[in-house]
Chain A
Amino acid sequence: MKNKQNLSMLLGIVLTSILAIIFLLGSFFGTQDPFYINMANRLSSSSAHHLLGTDHMGRDIFARIVYGAKLTIGLGLLIILLAMCIGLPIGLLSGYIGGKVDAFFMRVIDGILAFPDFILAIAIAGILGPSLTNIVIAIVLVKWIVYARVVRGLVLEEKQKEFVLASRLSYSSTFHTIRLHIIPQIFSEIVVMAAIDIGKIILLISSFSYIGIGAQAPLPEWGAMLNEGRSFFQVHPSLMLYPGIAILLTVLCCNLLGDGLKGYFKTGKRRNLL
């Protein structure tokens, strides 16, 4: 078990590094413009000039994948940060203070959580209108709830422990107790969750873009690229191959790292106990 988890960590780090190197090299040394249309050279196969060939409008696929990487990974990180900024304080306070506030809050949250995030995001995106920004807002609105819920549960558990009681008995302020005694305890769980969630968010964004309510046409988001290439996939499967592989590998990295971190924190905790 232990070996396997270290293996996920190792694989995750190796794969992430490889992808990072490719994307960084591509974005700093790539000479192709991801938006440059050249109808004379459409659907060409890979060459020294166009590493992965060109798409149905003669745009360089590699440049578009690299641009999409910046976009997708950046948005994934942004969404997770925003969701945590809203979810963590609310979950912390709700769990720590407890009482009626907590009860009311959890009722509402459970009601919303019973709803699938995808459908909720569709509904929000539908109301705000289909665009990449609105999808980001929609996913943040959906994701913070999960964080608030999980953090609250963890806080309830930690609150019962002796060191928290000791801190409260010694007249430490609420803020002080939460910062010093609760946050370090729940930190590892949240990091693991966030790592895996970034992968899920990337999948969500690309799915939304694929069905046409996320990133719109010229923007090289991976899902949107797949959507654009859809009608050519019979003749030129490479149009649908590369963006898909990019999504798969990126999400795989997140899952491997999340898995590895889980194992890392587990063994770390055990060491502390001994």
Chain B
Amino acid sequence: MIGSRLSQLFIMIFVLSFLTFLLMKITPGDPIRSILKVDDVSVTTEKEEQLKKEYGFDEPILKQYGEWIINVVQFDLGESLISKKPVSELILERLPATLALAMGGLTVLFLISIPLGVVSALYENRWPDYISRWFALVGASIPSFWLGLLLMYFFSLKLQWLPMMGRGTFAHFVLPSFTLGIAMAPIYITLLRERLITILESPYIEAAKARGISKRRILFFHALRGSLIPLITMFGLSLGSLLGGLSVIEILFSWPGMGELIVQGVTQRDYPLIQGFIIVIGFLIVLTNLLVDLLYMVINPQVQQGKEARV
């Protein structure tokens, strides 16, 4: 299993890095010129040639790519074209803030989606169900950054309960975490609801009812447990979109994370930074997928014996 995940990592990073590499080379924009612009020197042909040589841009593409891959294997992601710092350092600097915000968002996500999903399934087609389904529908339609702006407006500007942006205290965590959590909740609510409704109608729940086990016990020990696997699968799948969604929220709240860094990189066309970012994200995704696999094993021992998990 770990082997197949690792091979997935290599294929993914190889394909992506090669494609991005190729794209960079064939697109019109010129990184050399943007470096010169940043340095504020007048653009001369000699200067351009000199820099091209310095960065190895005059070599054939395949050779450049080969050198880049060899460096990556040695954890060297190159140097940012703009700030001249090593890319790995820039990213590692920002990683903790992003991970912290992701954790905050996930906490809110669970606090919202599990109760709403459970209530929705228990009161199917009655008003609590309608409320939570409308919540999911609107939540799936609202742009996350606008939701963040609204939360900012009400809780920071009008009520002045929470700081508007920046990072530092726990209070700074609240608004970005809620924005992220609410934006991600809809899929989980819908999934949990559908799964629970199916499970609550299944024979083993009937059997438990017939044995006189209390409703609450059935819900928490029998039904919820059975609906965990698809939720975890979904979690593994949506981890990427979590990281993507984060970058918008980071910019909105001036949160000094990776997303903010990469958007800067994009506007300045800092190629090594963009590529390094792709590699790091790919690595994070494979790592969490591995964790999800391990979680499966804990929850459903069948997987351990090499059988397919029933999802």
Our pick among B11, B244, B277 for the contact of A118 (Cβ within 8 Å) is B244
Q: Is the CB of B244 within 8 A of A128?
A: no
Given contacts A123-B274, A129-B29, is CB(A1)–CB(B125) below 8 Å?
yes
Residue of A nearest to B13 (CB): A111
Our pick among B12, B149, B251, B281 for the contact of A240 (Cβ within 8 Å) is B149
Given contacts A115-B12, A213-B263, is CB(A128)–CB(B285) below 8 Å?
no
Scan residues 82-122 of chain B and give those whose CB is less than 8 A from a CB of chain A: none
In the assembled complex, the CB of A92 is this many whole angstroms from the nearest CB of chain B, namely: 22
Q: Is the CB of B143 within 8 A of A223?
A: yes
Q: Is the CB of A211 within 8 A of B247?
A: yes
- Most B CB within 10 A of own CB, among A122, A126, A230: A126
Q: Is the CB of B263 within 8 A of A127?
A: no
Scan residues 40-94 of chain B and give those whose CB is less than 8 A from a CB of chain A: none
Our pick among A115, A199, A212, A230 for the contact of B267 (Cβ within 8 Å) is A212
Our pick among A4, A112, A226, A244 for the contact of B12 (Cβ within 8 Å) is A112
Given contacts A112-B12, A252-B137, is CB(A129)–CB(B27) below 8 Å?
yes
Q: Is the CB of B141 within 8 A of A234?
A: no
Q: Is B161 an interface residue (CB 8 A)?
A: no
Q: Is the CB of B263 within 8 A of A114?
A: no
Our pick among B8, B12, B146, B277 for the contact of A123 (Cβ within 8 Å) is B277
Q: Is B20 an interface residue (CB 8 A)?
A: yes
Q: Is A119 an interface residue (CB 8 A)?
A: yes
The size of the chain A interface, using a CB distance under 8 A, is 46
Our pick among B12, B23, B141, B241 for the contact of A127 (Cβ within 8 Å) is B23
Given contacts A107-B11, A223-B143, is CB(A211)–CB(B248) below 8 Å?
yes
Interface of B is mostly: helix
CA A211 – CA B271 in complex, angstroms? Answer: 19
**Chain A contacts for B143, CB-based, 8 A:** 203, 206-207, 210, 223, 244, 247-248, 251
Subset of 7 A-B contacts with CB under 8 Å:
A108-B15, A112-B16, A117-B241, A127-B20, A210-B143, A240-B149, A252-B141
Known: A122-B262, A212-B267. 11 other contacts (CB 8 A): A4-B125, A107-B11, A111-B11, A114-B289, A119-B244, A119-B277, A126-B266, A130-B266, A207-B143, A234-B157, A240-B149
Give the A-binding residues of B (Cβ under 8 A). Answer: 8, 11-12, 15-16, 20, 23-24, 27, 29, 125, 133, 137-138, 140-146, 149-150, 153, 157, 239-245, 247-248, 251-252, 262-263, 265-267, 269, 271, 274, 277-278, 281-282, 285-286, 289
Give the B-binding residues of A (Cβ under 8 A). Answer: 1, 4, 107-108, 110-112, 114-119, 122-130, 199, 203, 206-207, 210-213, 223, 226, 230, 233-234, 237, 240, 244, 247-248, 251-252, 254-256, 259
